[in-house]
Structure 1
């Protein structure tokens, strides 16, 4: 009998109270075509299940493995009865979920909850995009960080305006479609336009503001510019959709997490883009999709804290 997707949080907590259901659900999500050995270089589907230990043994490499091995859950002492509701909470929360709230909800330490959430965000990361964005695409940058005027006088950067002293994030949004976003080292043309050319089909209509980093796009695209010093909308020319995404993302950072390290910003972007790109499907399907993406992804504590590349 196949497992099902829970319909809400209460249903998820009750449904995943049974460890056998947890194991079967995750196995079906990770291996929809049958249990596959996750050991590197193996990948065999020839195995048998050891009922007394709730693990499999591969007939090819003779290694034993649980449903956690080769996923974000590997080496975690926590049971899936806590992990799966945590995945549900993060995939369903529009403005993210803080480690302090998760720690109280699951009766774990804040440090453990923080590690769990970053592992789940890794599962939400999209792989390489095979299909470039097409049609009407909006591009924009934004700064994430505190205002210069709120910093101590000795720490203020007394130069420039706008995104000075902030982490820079660049995003592309296909109208009525997907969004792709990542942190960038600068707003220079060579940085931004290289990302646009990798992710947007040549000949597409690209809407941006009047920033210098977007000058020259008209050689490959139907580039339309909106001057925010004069107007915000001119017919179909605007960047309101991508700015709406930035608004929601910043509510996640400032309202839920309050502060994130710049070198971890992409993990929070992965979370925001995953929810946005799957916004039109039910919570249960979005949760199942995140569980399916846990396969082959691993994040250690040393990697997360920068002690290991």
Structure 2
């Protein structure tokens, strides 16, 4: 097989059910040793006409989808492959409406598929950033969310009621209804980590820094008081955004770029993202950002496909907070 280069080539290639199955199979069990995802037994027989195995260890049948993000999905592998290709490579993301029209499923099914793929994109093996030899790291926080005027009436009323209880001098209107997120960028690996945080207080942000950055690293931040005290374990330099954004190597421009890309995707492609789901959209954005350099489209796709096993997201888990399934 020649290396896939474009979405059109992927559509043609994966339209063959046998090819789609074999391609996914090579990533599901890369060593070629198929094992039962339920009991781990390698004693089984393959039922070719149905593309399933019968396990002699637990006397149950299993398919390639069991034990992956595809489990219990009636959607065929060719559509899953295309959905994964699109989300891994479309720079601005893919809305559930667009995906539904492209592969021929309902918007609701497409929305669920996209969140399952984001689950696969999550990096569960991330190590600490920076190094004890002075590796350079940027740390910054941002606020993400829709403008109050664009929100659903019930949410708008709730936020306005909360604001009415806050003293005017605190000037919290700018962040009303928005969700705080924190990011760490490693200048050596050129990778970013970002996550939703409950607030931007010192104890919250510094806990994330201590857990995510090696002691002795050189950390660059703005002059927010939440970062005071980092010099006890790190080399800490700040930039005052009121006067300048760059002072030699001291800046947070790489993280600012990541925030800009993320906000553009959320505002332009996904439009209405509930805070409950924001971490998954961050996983998607981080995946593309961290795999943007020296990787072809098919390599990004393969990376996502290699991470589908051992992860599962049910519809009940996804909608557990009663969030709307919009985009």
State the TM-score bracket (shorter-chain normalisation): over 0.9
The match for 1:160 is: 171
Is the partner of 2:194 in helix, strand or coil?
A: strand
CA distance in 2, matches of 1:259, 1:52: 43
- For 1:179 and 1:200, locate their aligned partners in 2 and report how far apart those are by CA, in whole Å: 12
SS at 2:195 equivalent? strand
Q: Does 1:16 align with 2:35?
A: no
**Cα separation, partners in 2 of 1:9 and 1:203, compared to 1, 3 Å:** same
In structure 2, the residue matched to 1:30 is 28
In the alignment, is the contact (CA less than 8 A) between 2:28 and 2:306 conserved in 1?
yes
Task: Please point out which of 207, 212, 226 is paired with 2:239.
Answer: 226
Alignment of 1:28-177 (within 5 A): 28-40=26-38, 42-134=39-131, 135-147=135-147, 155-156=159-160, 157=163, 159-161=170-172, 162-176=174-188, 177=190
CA distance in 1, matches of 2:310, 2:130: 26
How many Å apart are 1:272 and its aligned residue?
A: 0.3
Pair 1:271 & 2:284 matched: yes
Contact 1:71 1:298 in 2 (8 A): yes
Paired residue total: 305
TM-score, reference length from structure 1: 0.93
Cα distance in 2 for partners of 1:192, 1:108 equals: 41
CA distance in 2, matches of 1:150, 1:46: 57
Decide whether aligned partners of structure 1 residues 4 and 201 sit closer, same or farther in structure 2, where only a CA change above 3 A counts.
farther
Distance 1:30 1:208 in 2: 41
In the alignment, the residues of structure 2 paired with residue 53 and residue 131 of structure 1 have an alpha-carbon distance, to the nearest angstrom, of: 44
Misfit runs of 4+, over 6 Å: 149-153
CA distance in 2, matches of 1:137, 1:126: 19
Assess if the C-alpha contact under 8 Å between 1:27 and 1:35 holds in 2. Answer: no
| Larger deviation, residues 60-69 vs 263-272 | 60-69
Displacement of 1:307: 6.1
Deviates more, 1:148-157 or 1:281-290: 148-157
| Structure 1 Cα separation of the partners of residues 263 and 125 of structure 2 | 25
Evaluate the alpha carbon distance shift between residue 120 and residue 30 of structure 1 in structure 2; reply closer, same or farther with a 3 A threshold: same
* Aligned ranges 1:241-256 → 2 under 5 Å: 241-256=254-269
**Gap change, CA 1:120 and 1:222, over 3 Å in 2:** same
Give me the whole-angstrom Cα distance separating, in 2, the residues matched to 1:228 and 1:286: 35
Equivalent in the alignment of 1:286: 300
Structure 1 gaps, min length 5: none
RMSD: 1.9
Q: Does the Cα contact within 8 Å between 1:204 and 1:221 map onto a contact in 2?
A: yes
Shift of 1:300: 1.1
Determine the structure 2 residue equivalent to 1:202: 215
Please report how far the alpha carbon of residue 5 of structure 1 lies from its aligned counterpart in structure 2 after TM superposition.
Answer: 5.0
CA drift at 1:198: 1.1
Give the alignment of 1:1-12 within 5 angstroms: 6-12=4-10
SS at match of 1:94: coil
Q: CA deviation at 1:298?
A: 0.9
Contact 1:50/1:56, CA 8 A, preserved across alignment: yes
TM, length-normalised to structure 2? 0.88
Mapped partners of 1:131, 1:50: distance in 2: 45
CA contact (8 A) 2:118 2:280 kept: yes
Check the 8 A contact 1:171/1:242 in 2, yes or no. yes
Whether the 8 Å contact between 2:130 and 2:218 is mirrored in structure 1 is no
